[in-house]
């Protein structure tokens, strides 16, 4: 493929939104209140909307029979390159909000840089997504504060969620080969440059929420290379079910 | 107030309704009017949120991104409908928590249709087409009901329901243009959802209670049997258009009536499901109760946080 680096670079962005959107969509109808239910469904919708724009662009680059759906549904486990953070399960609402927050802060910083890309399609997607993701970040930040500085029960649950998801944050700032190539061309975002700002923003919110900043220096990685957690295969078995059970059909 | 004064108020109240004036929450109203509205509107609200479950069941497995986005948006709309209807109900002086309590204890009912399982993707088509379709037939007359907040909620809800219905029909259309396997899937879904959809329009007039009073208050404008006939007459040609067969051997156009004659509805099944013995009654209620009880600590935390914030503000002001 001529634009292989760009293609892989787009998947690196979009797979995160795909898998996070999928996780949020599992919660619809089961939220702790109607308002949070609507908000989580809305974030899922926004993310899938973004995914469609990215994959439509990727499909054009790939050519042939590629479509947004072949890219979304017809890859194997090892070919999805989302970070491990977004595939973590919804153990409870604290986990859901902690996962969202730890991703949203990164996502917004990332999009703010992506809108300066030399690739006009990516710039356009970034500009549109920033509005949505700013709202996601406000929503998840508010919930970190509410649960962190709410009751003892909620504080402990939120602390536990932050402690267990912390190990997946560092991977957000790892550069892939596609990243490096795209940064060199002025198309991609240098994620390593976002790290200091990310932790200072995250830490400030945790402090305000009366939560302890985890001290662990051990971090998990692998998602960006397609080496996922054990949860991942189950996400795919749901998501790909129709396309695999009824191949080559129009819906 | 003397009995005579109350009689007088009631008379004026009924006259206002007869003149097509809207009753607003702050207006005087007979207690029976208030209770009847709480019952009907909350039942409607509960149906919206329980109704999220059978369709939510397919969000993670929708076959394409376009379908997934449309389904998410639809289920989110239903949550929105629940929200307006609970709010409209609250204007009558009952809290949302109390209404949930009634749902969870089994005191309040919701539409029985949601006690059937969604077993294939085609059910997303059938539910949108038939269930939202029957809901519209039930609800369009309510856009001019006498209680203002309910009437206004219905105007907005009906617009979205008709969008859902078209979306559901379009899923079916696409299936019927597909492979033999897809056509079978569509026909199977119609076979399973047809009769429950007819039941959704309510028991036959002979067995229906409270009709006369509801007619006067414009909570009911046509009888259940009339609504059902309207639904059948509207839906049969839609099925024919996409090559699907209504699963009723007795279905036949009656030239004289200008309507379809149809076979007998299995009312035993209807009452069995109403009484809690449908295939999914227990699961639906469990999902609602689990979400509510499992979310209690979250709601408590939000309340505690808001209180802390307010206290801090007061301290700062001093
Ligand atoms: Fe609805
Ligand atoms: Fe409805
Ligand atoms: Fe609907």
Q: Are B26 and B95 in contact (CB under 8 A)?
A: no
**Dihedrals φ, ψ of A47, to 5°?**
-65, -45
Tell whether A112 is covered by a domain: yes
Residue B261, SS3?
A: strand
Tell whether A206 is covered by a domain: yes
Digits of tens for pLDDT over chain A (251 positions)? 889 999 999 999 999 999 999 999 999 999 999 999 999 999 999 999 999 999 999 999 999 999 999 999 999 999 999 999 999 999 999 999 999 999 999 999 999 999 999 999 999 999 999 999 999 999 999 999 999 999 999 999 999 999 999 999 999 999 999 999 999 999 999 999 999 999 999 999 999 999 999 998 899 999 999 999 999 999 999 999 999 999 999 99
Please report the pLDDT score of residue A103 as a whole number: 99
Residue B87, SS3?
A: helix
Q: What is the CATH number of the domain that holds A80?
A: 1.20.1260.10
Instruction: Provide the percentage of residues in chain B whose pLDDT is more than 90.
Output: 92
Chain A contact for B120 (CB, 8 A cutoff): no
Residues in A touching B181 (Cβ below 8 Å): 246, 249
Residues in B touching A157 (Cβ below 8 Å): 297
- Mean per-residue pLDDT for B38-57? 97
Tell whether A251 is covered by a domain: no
* Distance from the alpha carbon of residue B141 to the mean position of ligand 2, in angstroms: 13
Token pair of B124, please?
A: 């997303």
Please report the pLDDT score of residue B210 as a whole number: 63
Range of the domain at A239: 4-245
Residues in A touching B72 (Cβ below 8 Å): 25, 28, 41, 44-45, 48
* Distance from the alpha carbon of residue B135 to the mean position of ligand 2, in angstroms: 6
- The H or E element that residue B37 is part of is helix B31-50
Tell whether A12 is covered by a domain: yes
Q: Whole-angstrom Cα distance, residue A203 to residue A105?
A: 11
Residue of B305, B311, B312 to mutate, interface with A, max A Cβ within 10 Å? B305
**B190-204 exposure pattern, b = at least 16 Cβ within 10 A, e = fewer:** bebbbbbbbbbbbbe
Chain A contact for B290 (CB, 8 A cutoff): yes
Please report the pLDDT score of residue A58 as a whole number: 98
pLDDT (tens digit per residue) in B257-288: 999 999 999 999 999 999 999 999 999 999 99
> Cβ A154–B62 below 8 Å, yes or no?
no
Q: Whole-angstrom Cα distance, residue A173 to residue B270?
A: 58
Of A213 and B317, the one with more pLDDT:
A213
List C-alpha distances in Å: A87 to B13, B214, B267: 58, 51, 46
Of B63 and B318, the one with more pLDDT:
B63
Q: Whole-angstrom Cα distance, residue B271 to residue B277?
A: 9
Interface of A with B in 185-244 (CB under 8 A): 238-239, 241-243
Q: Of A73, A72, A129, A141, which Cα lies nearest the Cα of A103?
A: A141
Report the 10 Å Cβ neighbour count for B307.
11
Residue of A23, A32, A55, A67 to mutate, interface with B, max B Cβ within 10 Å? A32
Instruction: Please count the structural domains in chain A.
Output: 1
- Mean per-residue pLDDT for B135-145? 95
* Distance from the alpha carbon of residue B132 to the mean position of ligand 3, in angstroms: 5
The dihedral over CA atoms of A150, A155, A161, A163, expressed in degrees to the nearest 10, equals 130
Tell whether A250 is covered by a domain: no
Please report the pLDDT score of residue B260 as a whole number: 98
Residue of B72, B77, B183 to mutate, interface with A, max A Cβ within 10 Å? B72
pTM of the model: 0.96
Q: What is the pLDDT confidence band of residue B211, given thresholds at 50, 70 and 90?
A: confident
Interface of A with B in 59-78 (CB under 8 A): 68-69, 72-73
Residue with tokens 């009995």: B3
Q: Tell me how close the Cα of A215 comes to any Cα of chain B, in angstroms.
A: 26
- Among candidates A31, A69, A238 on the partner chain, residue whose Cβ is nearest the Cβ of B64: A69
Please report the pLDDT score of residue B261 as a whole number: 98
Q: Are B72 and A41 in contact (CB under 8 A)?
A: yes
Please report the pLDDT score of residue A150 as a whole number: 98
Q: Are A132 and A46 in contact (CB under 8 A)?
A: yes
- Mean per-residue pLDDT for B200-220? 84
* Distance from the alpha carbon of residue A1 to the mean position of ligand 1, in angstroms: 47
Q: Whole-angstrom Cα distance, residue B43 to residue B49?
A: 10
- pLDDT over threshold 70, residue B187: yes
- pLDDT over threshold 80, residue B91: yes
Q: Write down the mean pLDDT value for chain B.
A: 95
Tell whether A234 is covered by a domain: yes
**Dihedrals φ, ψ of A135, to 5°?**
-65, -45
């Amino acid at each position: 493929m001529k634009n292989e680096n760009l293609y892989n670079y787009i998947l690196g962005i979009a797979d995160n939104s795909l898998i996070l959107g999928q996780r949020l969509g599992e919660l619809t109808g089961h939220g702790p209140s109607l308002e949070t239910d609507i908000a989580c469904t809305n974030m899922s919708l926004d993310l899938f909307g973004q995914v469609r724009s990215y994959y439509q662009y990727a499909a054009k680059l790939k050519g042939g029979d590629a479509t947004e759906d072949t890219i979304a549904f017809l890859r194997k486990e090892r070919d999805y390159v989302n970070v491990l953070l977004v595939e973590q399960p919804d153990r409870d609402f604290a986990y859901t909000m902690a996962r969202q927050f730890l991703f949203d802060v990164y996502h917004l910083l990332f999009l703010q840089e992506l809108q300066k890309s030399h690739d006009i399609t990516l710039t356009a997607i970034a500009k549109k997504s920033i509005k949505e993701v700013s709202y996601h970040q406000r929503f998840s930040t508010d919930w970190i504060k509410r649960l962190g500085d709410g009751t003892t029960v909620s504080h402990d649950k939120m602390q536990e969620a932050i402690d267990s998801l912390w190990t997946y944050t560092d991977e957000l700032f790892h550069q892939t080969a596609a990243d490096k190539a795209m940064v060199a061309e002025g198309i991609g975002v240098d994620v390593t440059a976002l790290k200091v700002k990310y932790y200072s923003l995250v830490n400030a919110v945790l402090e305000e929420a009366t939560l302890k900043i985890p001290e662990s220096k051990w971090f998990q990685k692998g998602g960006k290379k397609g080496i996922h957690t054990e949860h991942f295969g189950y996400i795919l078995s749901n998501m790909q079910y129709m396309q695999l059970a009824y191949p080559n059909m129009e819906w | 107030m003397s009995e005579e004064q109350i009689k007088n108020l009631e008379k004026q109240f009924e006259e206002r309704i007869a003149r097509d004036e809207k009753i607003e929450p702050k207006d005087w109203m007979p207690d029976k009017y208030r209770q009847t509205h709480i019952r009907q509107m909350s039942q409607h609200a509960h149906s919206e949120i329980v109704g999220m479950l059978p369709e939510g069941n397919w969000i993670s497995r929708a076959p394409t991104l376009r379908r997934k986005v449309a389904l998410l948006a639809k289920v989110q709309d239903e949550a929105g409908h629940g929200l307006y209807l609970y709010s409209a109900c609250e204007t009558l002086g009952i809290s949302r928590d109390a209404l949930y309590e009634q749902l969870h204890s089994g005191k309040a009912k919701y539409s029985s249709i949601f006690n059937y399982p969604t077993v294939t993707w085609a059910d997303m088509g059938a539910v949108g087409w038939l269930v939202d379709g029957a809901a519209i037939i039930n609800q369009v007359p309510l856009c001019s009901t006498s209680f203002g907040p309910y009437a206004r909620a219905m105007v907005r809800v009906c617009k979205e329901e008709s969008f859902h219905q078209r979306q559901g029909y379009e899923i079916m259309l696409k299936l019927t243009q597909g492979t033999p396997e897809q056509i079978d899937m569509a026909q199977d879904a119609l076979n399973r959802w047809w009769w429950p959809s007819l039941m959704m329009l309510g028991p036959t007039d002979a067995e229906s209670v409270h009709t006369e009073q509801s007619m006067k208050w414009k909570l009911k404008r046509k009888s259940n049997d009339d609504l059902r006939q309207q639904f059948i007459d509207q839906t049969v040609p839609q099925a024919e258009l996409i090559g699907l067969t209504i699963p009723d051997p007795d279905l036949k156009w009656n030239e004289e009536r200008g309507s379809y004659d149809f076979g007998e509805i299995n009312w035993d099944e209807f009452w069995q499901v109403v009484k809690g013995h449908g295939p999914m009654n227990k699961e639906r209620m469990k999902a609602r109760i689990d979400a509510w009880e499992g979310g209690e600590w979250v709601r408590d935390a939000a309340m505690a946080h808001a209180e802390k914030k307010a206290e801090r503000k007061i301290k700062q002001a001093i």
